[in-house]
Structure 1
Amino acid sequence: MIKKLLITQHIPAMSNFKIVLVMVAIMWVVHGVNMLFSLSFDSFGLVPLSREHLFGIITYPFIHGGWQHLIGNTLGLLISGYLASQLSSFKRATGVIFVTTGLLVWLFASHANHIGASGIVMGYFGFIMGSAIFRRNLLSFLLAVALLAVTHYFQINLFGTLFSFDSSTSVSSHLFGFISGVSAAYLFKGQAKKST
């Protein structure tokens, strides 16, 4: 049963994961160009309730404050994105996470320039955990366990970052990303039954 499940999920999952790889590639190219030419891409960040920064809902995940910030988000995105890409409705969930997280940050976050992909990372985390709760199938449960095991191995405290009040951390992005991911899992919980 597990072998059949993995085989049927393999090709769509590889196609899904390409979306994550494209996001990571854009992040690195943007940051590389920013550093190489001493540009200021921070203006593409997301400033809550600023109409001039409304486009930041789409652009802010691709902007990072430094190499450490970029590397940390890259690792988190590759791990959570790869595991989330194994689930059906991943593409739809990505759209919901991307837009909803940005919109919630723009509407309700504290006034600051929000940058970085951590909201998307936490969105995938919420999608995986929500899928384990709402879908209640073997694959969703295994992915949730795998995510917790891998993040523990790499000493990434995903639950801790939900409530990190470090002044340099956008707790709003983390929290709203997680909520968006759980919401996507609930919205598409019936997708798993249709695709099996």
Structure 2
Amino acid sequence: MRSQPVRPLHAVVVMAVLLAGLWVLEGLDQLSGNALDSYGIHAREVDGLPEIFTAPLLHAGWEHLAGNSVPFFAFGLLVLLGGVARWAVSTLVSVVSSGLTAWLLTPAGTIVLGASGLIFGWLTYLLVRGLWSRRPGQVVLALVILFLYGGLLWGVLPGAAGISWQAHLGGAVGGVVAAWLLHRDDATRRRAEQLPAFYR
């Protein structure tokens, strides 16, 4: 899938606005006595499925949001630099995969909130897209991210109480799927473009 790259400054502005929006929403949630938390994912409740799209925008307090802010901005920025279309597809696939997995595997009666599922989707997307694109820059970037943030991947396994490993796992799977969807034809296309016109 072709996608026009985004200028770095524009990408920074977009991600900064989105991150600011998360902080504003958390402020409104605090002022409302956590009323917005009801828009999180209600595990195994059919009428709660639409909340898979609102849950990533909400957090269970300032500490939760602060912990997600840096990776949200950094990974989102790196994905966005590759183009708006790829950012949108990888985001949508990660959100849906994370939300459905959390909805299905989380114990009933639980509300799941937070952007971490999306963050895991962006993380795995950045890590594996080079497998299909074969672009040296993307491979090097993946190695750097793996070195700096590889420890986060343990979050897909059951761990501390109150942390949704289900959302992490679903998001991670979504990121891999998005990378395959978006980059599976990249290497073939690049080889074709390098051939003389006579051989195309």
> Shorter chain as normaliser: what TM range?
0.7 to 0.9
Q: Distance in 1 between matches of 2:144 and 2:98?
A: 24
Q: Distance in 2 between matches of 1:29 and 1:174?
A: 24
Q: CA deviation at 1:135?
A: 1.9
Q: CA deviation at 1:98?
A: 1.8
Using the size of structure 1 for normalisation, the TM-score is: 0.81
Give the equivalent residue in structure 2 for 1:57: 52
Give the equivalent residue in structure 2 for 1:41: 36
Among candidates 183, 192, 195, match of residue 177 of structure 2: 183
- What is the count of residue pairs matched by the alignment? 184
Q: CA deviation at 1:178?
A: 0.4
Q: How does 1:156-171 map to 2 (within 5 A)?
A: 157-171=151-165
User: Is 1:80 the equivalent of 2:78?
Assistant: no
Give the equivalent residue in structure 2 for 1:145: 143
User: Is 1:100 the equivalent of 2:97?
Assistant: yes
Contact 1:83-1:143 within 8 A present in 2 as well = no
Among candidates 126, 129, 150, match of residue 128 of structure 1: 126
Give the equivalent residue in structure 1 for 2:197: none
Contact 1:120-1:177 within 8 A present in 2 as well = yes
Give the equivalent residue in structure 1 for 2:106: 109
Contact 1:87-1:140 within 8 A present in 2 as well = no
Q: Distance in 1 between matches of 2:142 and 2:97?
A: 22
Q: 1:96-141 CA deviation, whole Å, 9 max, x = no partner? A: 1122221232233333211110000000011011202222211211
Larger Rg: 2
Q: Distance in 2 between matches of 1:146 and 1:135?
A: 17
Q: Distance in 2 between matches of 1:90 and 1:14?
A: 16
* Sequence identity (%): 26
Q: CA deviation at 1:92?
A: 1.6
Q: 1:176 to 1:135 in 2, by over 3 A?
A: same
Q: Distance in 1 between matches of 2:135 and 2:155?
A: 27
Q: Distance in 2 between matches of 1:43 and 1:64?
A: 11
Q: Which amino acid aligns with 2:101?
A: L
Using the size of structure 2 for normalisation, the TM-score is: 0.79
Q: 1:166-195 CA deviation, whole Å, 9 max, x = no partner? A: 111000011110000011001111464559
Contact 1:16-1:91 within 8 A present in 2 as well = no
Q: CA deviation at 1:66?
A: 1.3
Q: 1:125 to 1:115 in 2, by over 3 A?
A: same
Q: Distance in 1 between matches of 2:19 and 2:27?
A: 12
Contact 2:43-2:106 within 8 A present in 1 as well = yes
**166-175 or 24-33, which deviates more:** 24-33
**83-92 or 23-32, which deviates more:** 83-92
Q: 1:53 to 1:177 in 2, by over 3 A?
A: same
- SS at structure 1 position matched to 2:112: coil
